[in-house]
Structure 1
Amino acid sequence: MKKDMALRSLSREQLEELLEIYAKNWLAMDGVWFQSVEAAHGMEEAMKHDAAAWERFTVIEARRLKAFLQLPEHPGLEGLRRALELRFYGRLNQDSVYMEGNALFYRVGSCRVQSARTRKGMPLHPCKSVGILEYSGFARTIDSRICCECVSCYPEVTDDTCACLWKFTLK
């Protein structure tokens, strides 16, 4: 196929750059539809649609990553760590995944969405409610025993050294 040949002709560096372009394009599309609803119907309505979209998308993404990584049914926090490290928008944010005691933490130091909204003079995205749906759904799809807790996320920021912080534990 012609498409396969185009990809095969690229160097590893070019493929990595293309992956970043795809991630930026995906995030731009996410932001464009959200801002369209926000402008036409307000933040509350946009958040309602955002929650519905993320609740479905996060499960799709987690299932595909779980299959790609060939994770067992219950891969635990280590399986979740591996999957979180490969999330599409993770290529765009400054994030880290680390263990502390019996918990796994996912920390976003700098968020591209919030940075863009600030740059455009827009109010910050109140992402905690959607984040809870997103990260809980992602974690449960990787391993049904994993619980998610928001440590810090706008508008309830408890750690001003990062954009958001999530804690995962096994029940």
Structure 2
Amino acid sequence: MDLAGGSVNAELDDRDVIEYFKRSYRAVDGLWFMKVEERYGFDTALEIDDDVWRVMPKIQARALKSIMNESNGLESLARCFTAKLSLEEFEFASTCDGRCARFVVTRCPWHEIMVRAGRAELNERVGSRICWSELEVWASEFGDGIVPRRDRRICRGDESCEIEFELKNGAEH
């Protein structure tokens, strides 16, 4: 088999390519965290992780807004956040009534990764900080009048995560 100048990509279908990048994306997230943790400790790694996850959701939200032809507003946020959760293989149900978008997550792949890595005892510390940062950024990317709220959390031992994005009083949808 001569691979010089050839295209291995021709042997991979779209699902293979997606799986490759999905695994790489998830692996690099945990890998860099563990390397920073080894060198500087857990608290510093979590602080840097928080900095990263205050930028990544901007990239994700803006990309999905563009791809999906969405603009600002709660309904656009609900559609784009639904796409994000679907792409990342969360299991969830969602509703949007024009004033509040609700998501009930029953399976979180990030939680499962932490459990498989033997780091379940750190999951609540990571999830409570990083997920909250993500939600704040997602809300801000779709307008000043949208605020996130989160009650239940899988990482805390609840059966589901309950996430809401609400319009502040007086905000337009």
C-alpha distance in structure 2 between counterparts of 1:95 and 1:143, whole Å: 24
Q: Secondary structure at the match of 1:97?
A: strand
Residue matched to 2:75: 78
C-alpha distance in structure 2 between counterparts of 1:133 and 1:106, whole Å: 17
C-alpha contact (below 8 Å) 1:95/1:107 kept by paired residues: yes
Q: 1:95 to 1:31 in 2, by over 3 A?
A: farther
Q: 1:117 to 1:140 in 2, by over 3 A?
A: same
Structure (1 or 2) with the larger CA radius of gyration: 2
Residue matched to 1:49: 48
C-alpha contact (below 8 Å) 1:24/1:92 kept by paired residues: no
Matched pairs, number:
161
List 4+ stretches of structure 1 deviating above 6 A. Answer: none
Alignment map for 1:9-158 (pairs within 5 Å): 14-72=13-71, 74=72, 76-87=73-84, 90-99=87-96, 102-122=99-119, 123-125=121-123, 126=125, 127-153=127-153, 157=156
C-alpha distance in structure 2 between counterparts of 1:150 and 1:3, whole Å: 50
Structure 1: 5+ residue stretches without partners:
none
Q: Among all aligned residue pairs of Structure 1 and Structure 2, give the percentage whose two residues are the same amino acid.
A: 23
Two-structure CA RMSD over aligned residues (Å): 2.9
Q: 1:60 to 1:151 in 2, by over 3 A?
A: same
The Cα shift of 1:120 comes to 2.9
* 1:19-56 C-alpha deviation (Å, 9 max, x unpaired): 23322211111111112222333221111001100101
Scaled by the length of structure 1, the TM-score of the pair is 0.77
Scaled by the length of structure 2, the TM-score of the pair is 0.77
* 1:81-130 C-alpha deviation (Å, 9 max, x unpaired): 21112227743332333236842122332222222222232223221122
* 1:106-163 C-alpha deviation (Å, 9 max, x unpaired): 23322222222222322232211221211111121123321111212366x4x7112x
C-alpha distance in structure 1 between counterparts of 2:60 and 2:66, whole Å: 10
C-alpha contact (below 8 Å) 1:38/1:45 kept by paired residues: yes
C-alpha contact (below 8 Å) 2:145/2:167 kept by paired residues: yes
Partner amino acid, structure 2, of 1:105: R
